[in-house]
Chains A and B, each alone.
Chain A
Amino acid sequence: MDFNILQIALLIFIVFVLLRVLKRFRNNDVTFKEWLLWSLFWLVVLVATFLPQSTDFLAKKIGLETGRGVDLAVYASIPILFYLIFKVIAKLDKIQQNQTKIVRHLAIKNFSEKEKKE
């Protein structure tokens, strides 16, 4: 069976990611459910990398005119990426708000403490 360079590069990357997720699970950084979901996701990517035709079936089922799995992957990733960007912006906003609360709390606390000393 011949593999192209892209497939080999992806294989190395996927194995690396799977090992990282496993390590994080062992260190209790991720839950069992998260580990299982991420591992399944990357295994699906692995199958799609070496058997690209296997995804064509799904593309046809969904009704993509080209019937190519790779197109399905591209189309699906756009809304997912938009959603992830939204999530990141929302999270960032929350972090900034919390940061402001801490800065505010410290400003008032430090002043009160200095006032007491003086």
Chain B
Amino acid sequence: MNGLNPNKKIFIIIPAWNEKERIVQVIANLKKHGYDRIVVVDDSSCDNTGKLAKENGAIVLSHIINRGQGAALQTGNTYAVKNGADIIVHFDADGQMRPEDISKMIEPIINGKAEITLGSRFLGQTKNIPFTKRYILLPVSRLINYLFTGLWLSDVHNGFRALSKEACLKINIKQDEFSHATEIIEQIKINNLRYEEVPVTIIYHEYGMNLFGAFRILKELLIGKLIR
């Protein structure tokens, strides 16, 4: 069964690094909503994230050394495409995303309106966004994203996306760490992919990416631009 679409092979890709606290619940929630092709890419966790995911019925791809979230997503993408995926969904391991939003994310792809959808916190009902994140970090991220990609989006870097198989084949994530989110948007523009932003709800348990993280993303993007 694949959620609302039994005819489509939907793969949920979850990059995970030391997520033993939440991974079991995340998998269980996804299954409850009918998604059974759950691929957890264990990015060389020090805890038993991979083992727990496997015991709970996920396909676990294990990185023998830590390569970063972008690298883990690309591993999941490669696996899903090789195994006949029609739609690939990027989902977080920390329980901040809601499985009930997936059907909204994949709908434009199934209807042929879009080849890729991007979750947006600001079109949705996201609660508890920390003050500095909402009014400083996120607007600056949007601007940087626009400067690097040329696409002005309502949200960046929340990590909730759905891709058609064709879009997945065109997008090759080379930024191993967190700047992959900007890289994906850049590749949407380069490959002229039809995209849509979809309102989603993100539940914040903790602050997540901070200012230093944002600087690291900027550094990765600049180095990437300079040498590739």
C-alpha gap A108/B71 in the complex (Å): 13
Contact between B59 and A103, CB atoms less than 8 A apart = no
Contact between B78 and A108, CB atoms less than 8 A apart = yes
- Binary CB contact string for chain B from 41 to 82 against chain A (1 if under 8 A, 0 otherwise): 100000000000000000111111101000100110011001
Contact between A99 and B78, CB atoms less than 8 A apart = no
Distance between B82 CB and nearest chain A CB, rounded to angstroms: 7
* Residues of the A chain whose Cβ atoms lie less than 8 Å from the Cβ of B79: 108, 111
Contact between B223 and A107, CB atoms less than 8 A apart = no
* Residues of the B chain whose Cβ atoms lie less than 8 Å from the Cβ of A26: none
Q: A89-B227, A99-B67 are in contact. Are A108 and B61 (CB under 8 A)?
A: yes
Q: How large is the interface on B (under 10, 10 to 19, 20 to 34, 35 or more residues)?
A: 20 to 34
Majority DSSP secondary structure for residues of B touching A: mixed
Contact between A90 and B227, CB atoms less than 8 A apart = yes
Contact between A111 and B67, CB atoms less than 8 A apart = no
* Residues of the A chain whose Cβ atoms lie less than 8 Å from the Cβ of B174: 97
Contact between B64 and A96, CB atoms less than 8 A apart = no
* Residues of the A chain whose Cβ atoms lie less than 8 Å from the Cβ of B64: 103, 106-107
Kindly count the residue-residue contacts between A and B in the assembled complex, taking CB atoms under 8 Å apart: 49
Distance between A97 CB and nearest chain B CB, rounded to angstroms: 6
B101 an interface residue at 8 Å Cβ cutoff? Answer: no
Nearest chain A residue, comparing its CB with the CB of B228: A93
Contact between B223 and A93, CB atoms less than 8 A apart = yes
Distance between B142 CB and nearest chain A CB, rounded to angstroms: 27
C-alpha gap A99/B71 in the complex (Å): 10
Mark out the residues of chain A between 61 and 115 whose CB falls within 8 Å of any chain B CB in the assembled complex.
Answer: 86, 89-90, 93, 96-97, 99-100, 103-104, 106-108, 110-111
* Residues of the B chain whose Cβ atoms lie less than 8 Å from the Cβ of A111: 59-62, 79
C-alpha gap A29/B75 in the complex (Å): 36
* Residues of the B chain whose Cβ atoms lie less than 8 Å from the Cβ of A99: 65, 67
Q: A89-B227, A108-B78 are in contact. Are A103 and B61 (CB under 8 A)?
A: no
Given contacts A86-B227, A96-B176, A111-B62, 5 further A-B contacts (CB under 8 A): A89-B226, A97-B176, A107-B61, A107-B75, A110-B62
B residues adjacent to A (C-beta < 8 A): 41, 59-65, 67, 71, 74-75, 78-79, 82, 174, 176, 223-224, 226-228
A residues adjacent to B (C-beta < 8 A): 86, 89-90, 93, 96-97, 99-100, 103-104, 106-108, 110-111
